[in-house]
Structure 1
């Protein structure tokens, strides 16, 4: 199983925006993860997701640790700080969701 897409989306809740990431696989399983979003950060989180999704596409979604290391340790990751960590966390939650669906176990 391989990751085929990483799609950010925002849900407007009037008083704040919720930021989510949908990770899709070639087996039709998808996972959803949420990142903490502060006021005015959703556009930056969307841009960060779009800029970094190539690190995830093609990877085995069940190999969460390797994907997490890749997202957090690529050259100059520290410059992105909270944005990269928030996106990495949302992707990690989505990968847990995929694993739960794949193994038919609660997460």
Structure 2
């Protein structure tokens, strides 16, 4: 399915979704945190701190700080890799999946309203 929006309509949709998300959910993710979270949930695992840093073009420390925050929110979890104990593997959580499902539903709802 393809949806065609003008730049103004796309930004308006993003604006409405962002405002509603802030009002409805106490968790306030930065753009970087959201990019990391979406990558973890939309790209097949495994995900490592090193891999995420390379994908986003940032340092491992930047990823670690973002994961600390998202871990405190219950959106992701980290475990040591059983094969290579130096690596930390990022795991999805039920809380993170529900958060993104609600966000997806919100985007769909606001997108439908845009079409009316």
Q: TM-score w.r.t. structure 2 length? A: 0.30
Q: TM-score w.r.t. structure 1 length? A: 0.32
- Relative contact order (C-alpha < 8 Å, sep 6+): which is higher? 1
Rg (Cα) greater in structure: 2
